[in-house]
Structure 1
Amino acid sequence: MMQRDDFKISTRLRVRWAEADMQGVVFNGHYLTYADIGTTEYFRAIKQITDGATGAQGSDFFAVRTVLEYHAPALYDDLLDVHVRIIRLGNSSMQFQIGIYRGEELLTTGELVYVYADLQSRRPQPIPDAFRTAVKALEKTPPQDTAAK
C-alpha cells in the first residue's frame, strides 16, 4: 500500500473552478494534468542535480503510458498534494508512481511510463548515467533498476 512518506517530491495545488463540474467534483481528465504538474516538479528537482543533461544531447523523455485509479473525488477549492516518485528504471524507460492526496486521504493513484528517446527520430536511447544516479540519490527508496548491465 502506498504511503505519503514513501515520496520525497510533493507539489501542492488548489482545485480551480474551471476544473470542477456543477456539483463541484473535479472532472476525471484533470487528474492527469495534476500528475503532469507533479512530474514536471520531479524533473525540475532532478535538473538541479544533473545540470539539465537531458535534452542537451538531443534526447529527452516522452510519456508513453498513463494509468489512473480513482478512489475518492477531489472537490472545488480543495488543497491537493501530488506526490511523485520513480519506482523503476529500465534501459530507456522509467515508471513514475503518483499519489494525489487531500490531507491524509488518498484520492487517486497512478502510473506514468516515460521513454528516453532521440528528439528527431523518437527512437529509444539509454537513460543517461547522470540522470539514473540523480534519481537513486533523490529517492527515499531506490527504484528497481532493470537496465541491462
Structure 2
Amino acid sequence: MFTATHRVQFHETDMAGIVHFSNFYRYMEEAEHAYLRSLGLSVSMTRPDGSVIGWPRVRAQCTFEAPAYFEDVIEIRLKLMRKGVKSLTFEVEFYRDERRLARGSLKTACCIVAHGQPLVSIPIPEDIDVKFVEEPAESA
C-alpha cells in the first residue's frame, strides 16, 4: 500500500467549509502521481524516440462516508489491485485519523502518443511493468 497526505486548502471547500466532492478525484490523482514517482516513473514519460507514454483514466468512482474540512490532513491510501496487460486498477481510501471519509477506485490505461499521431493504448512496456506489484486480495 502506498500512502500520501494532503492538507485541505480553503479553495477546496464549499460555503459550509466541507471539501467539494470533485476534489476527492484530484486527491486520487495526486496519490497516483506520487506513487508513480516513488517507482521512478511518471504519468507522462518521454521515450528516446520522442514518443510519450502516459496513463489516461478510463474509469474513476468515489463513494463518500464522512465530510472533510478546511485544514484537515487527509491520508490517502492507494493500492494496486490489478495489473492488466494494458491497464492498472487502484483502490483508494481516504482517512482523517482513523475515520474513513471515502473510498474509490481508479483505472488507467497505458497509452503512447507519437508526434502527430493519435493516442493509442499499448501493453505496459516490460521495463515499466516489472515495477508494479499487485496487492494480494483480502480474504473474507
TM bin, normalised by shorter chain, reads 0.7 to 0.9
Determine whether 1:83 maps to 2:77.
yes
Bigger helix share: 1
Count, aligned residues: 131
Pairwise CA distance, 1:62: 1.3
Structure 1 match to 2:93 = 99
Q: Structure 1 segments of 4 or more deviating over 3 A?
A: 51-55
Deviation string 1:95-132 (CA, Å, 9 cap, x unpaired) is 01111110111111111110011214211100022222
TM-score when scaled to structure 1? 0.79
Matched, 1:42 2:35: yes
- Aligned pair 1:20/2:13, yes or no? yes
* 1:13-70 C-alpha deviation (Å, 9 max, x unpaired): 111111112221111111111111101101101226xx99954262221111111111
Is the Cα–Cα contact under 8 Å of residues 85 and 124 in structure 2 kept in the other structure?
Answer: yes
Give the TM-score, by structure 2 length.
0.83
Identity %: 24
Corresponding letter in the other structure for 1:114: T
Which residue is equivalent to 1:131?
128
- Unaligned 5+ residue runs, structure 2? none
> 2:44, 2:55 within 8 Å by CA — same for their partners in 1?
no
Q: Aligned equivalents of 1:46 and 1:40: distance in 2? A: 10
